[in-house]
């Protein structure tokens, strides 16, 4: 898979952002990716059919320039993504609070499912197996319900990195 190459916006996110302290330094995208990959819990925000937000924590794996996550087909987040794939995923990383915006789509490709099953096992010790176009597992999160678990890939449109350490800068990466 090819990694998306972002354009880095050297300006603060807004005049009200934490970067109004005069910091113009941007975080390199490679550093942001390392921080995204190193984290263990991510927060997924989807859109309910009535337009209200739905937010849930989940495990994720950063691989080949994309964030992958799973959802049971009967969960609210899976139903929301089927209705509207637009979503945001946030994570508090070592030096950045990161907000990723884009669209999440179900992945059914067998090679990708197998690669991500290995990545989940390596990162979390979650021993999932490919069963058709989804995963089977001996256990899942209490809010995830029973298997199957479907795999989703977030295709990025924008990512914001807000510095949580000196000098508290802010960076926005746009993806075409």
Q: Is residue 43 part of a domain?
A: yes
Beta partners for residue 3, in sequence order: none
Q: Is residue 18 part of a domain?
A: yes
Q: Is residue 165 part of a domain?
A: yes
Q: Is residue 176 part of a domain?
A: no
Structure tokens at 117: 């099953």
Distance CA 102, CA 89 (A): 9
Beta carbons of 9 and 172 less than 8 angstroms apart: yes
Q: Is residue 12 part of a domain?
A: yes
Q: Residue 13 belongs to what domain range?
A: 7-170
Structure tokens at 85: 């794939």
CATH number reported for the structural domain that contains residue 125 in this entry = 2.30.110.10
pLDDT per residue of the chain (176 residues) written in tens, 0 to 9: 334 444 433 222 222 333 545 666 778 888 888 999 999 899 999 999 999 999 999 999 999 889 999 999 999 999 999 999 999 999 999 889 999 999 999 999 999 999 999 999 999 999 999 999 999 998 776 667 789 999 999 998 889 998 888 877 888 888 86
Q: Is residue 175 part of a domain?
A: no
How many domains does the chain fold into?
1
Distance CA 19, CA 24 (A): 7
């Amino acid at each position: 898979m090819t990694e998306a190459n972002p354009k880095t916006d050297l300006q603060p996110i807004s005049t009200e952002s934490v970067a109004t302290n005069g910091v113009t330094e941007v975080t390199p995208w490679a550093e942001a990716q390392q921080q995204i990959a190193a984290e263990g819990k991510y927060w997924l925000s989807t859109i309910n059919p009535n337009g209200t937000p739905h937010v849930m924590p989940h495990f994720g794996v950063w691989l080949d320039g994309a964030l992958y996550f799973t959802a049971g087909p009967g969960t609210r987040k899976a139903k929301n993504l089927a209705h509207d794939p637009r979503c945001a995923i946030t994570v508090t990383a070592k030096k950045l609070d990161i907000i990723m915006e884009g669209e999440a789509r179900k992945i059914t490709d067998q090679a990708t499912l197998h690669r991500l099953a290995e990545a989940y096992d390596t990162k979390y010790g979650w021993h999932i197996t490919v069963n058709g176009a989804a995963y089977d597992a001996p256990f899942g999160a209490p809010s995830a319900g029973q298997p199957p678990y479907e795999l989703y890939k977030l295709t990025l449109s924008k990512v914001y990195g807000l510095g949580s350490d000196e000098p508290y800068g802010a960076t926005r990466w746009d993806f075409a």
